[in-house]
Amino acid sequence: MKKKRVALFVANSTFVDQPERYMQRIPEIYTKRAEELTQEQRVKEIIQRVPPLLALETLTNSTMSYIAQYTGLKGENATFGNSSIGSFYALQSCIQVIEKNKNIPGIFCGTDCSDIYSYLSNSFLNCETQNWKESAGVSVLILSSNSDNAQAKITYTKHDNRIPDLFDKTIQRNWGQLIHNNPAETAIFSGAFTESTYQKDLEYLKGFYTNHFSYYPEFGNMGCSNIGSGIIKAIELLKSGIKSADVLDRDIYGRESVIRVEQC
């Protein structure tokens, strides 16, 4: 398989890492010390202070750009952002491509930078911010329609199509409806940014699942890497004897999703 045909779908949540590294250098040009500069000199100063790769670090598709450059992948591709529901759309798109092209594998990647910029961007959307917990994360999966050497299979995907409302911070918890009250053997869930929300999610899911797991206690929320990390954990549990697992997630806007992973 030629690399140029491999599909690549990336979900990128917080992608600006320490923006102050470069941005704080720009205002210096307009201080009193630089009043004597001509417009031409000022433009030259700006160009000299801005690194050539700044665009790749501040665009939503920055992660995909680096992956494509280093690996040479040139197949169908798209970047989704910038909350964790983007991972659901990226995964769904990757599945559609490999189903249409049986001999072409697809790479699904979810990333989250999780710097102070993430908190500043997202905390106002949450009804609770005390003890906010978030970690940087990356998850990568190779998908194929060919079952040879497959470690698991995705049998069901669903999301709630909720339209974000910036003034409504209520968490609805509709996972039960998404699985039609027909749960898998275990749940792997994510979406909480605070301990209080995590505990409420846990109590809610106990009404559907006997077994459950979350990375929150250790890492907190990992943005667009939540779903990929959940699927990787599901594969690990399947190897231990579990036959099916529901990977549940909720993004910062309250949009929920479920992906069922089962043994091949």
DSSP code at position 102: T
Per-residue pLDDT band for 255 (boundaries 50, 70, 90) equals very high
In 43-148, DSSP assigns E strands to 77-80, 106-112, 137-143
CA max distance for the chain: 73
The whole-number pLDDT of residue 55 equals 63
Confidence class of residue 1 from pLDDT cuts 50, 70 and 90? Answer: low
pLDDT band, residue 22 (cuts 50/70/90): low
Q: What is the pLDDT of residue 236?
A: 97
For position 258, what pLDDT does the model report? 98
**In this predicted structure, what is the pLDDT of residue 33?**
58
Local structure of 98: helix, strand or coil = helix
- Residues 153-262, CATH architecture: 3-Layer(aba) Sandwich (3.40)
Q: What angle, rounded to 10 degrees, do the helices at 85-100 and 226-239 form?
A: 70
Q: How confident is the model over 213-254, as pLDDT tens digits?
A: 999 999 999 999 999 999 999 999 999 999 999 999 999 999
User: In 3D, which of 109, 134, 68, 127 has the Cα closest to residue 224?
Assistant: 109
Tell whether pTM > 0.85: yes
pLDDT for position 21: 61
Mean pLDDT computed over 124-152 = 92
Residues 143 and 121: their CA atoms lie apart, in Å, by 32
Instruction: Say which residue the tokens 């699904």 belong to.
Output: 108
| Mean pLDDT value across residues 105-121 | 88
- Work out the pLDDT band at 27, boundaries 50, 70, 90: low
Instruction: Give the pLDDT score at 245.
Output: 98
Where are the chain's structural domains? 153-262
Residues 22/46, Cβ–Cβ less than 8 Å: no
pLDDT of residue 63: 85
Mean of the per-residue pLDDT values of the chain: 89
CA 238/CA 232 separation, integer angstroms: 10
Q: What is the pLDDT of residues 147-186, one digit of tens each?
A: 888 999 999 999 998 888 888 888 999 999 999 989 999 9
Mean pLDDT of the region 44-52: 72
The token duo for 201 is 């999610």
Write down the pLDDT at residue 47: 73
Residue 243: CB atoms within 10 A of its CB come to: 11
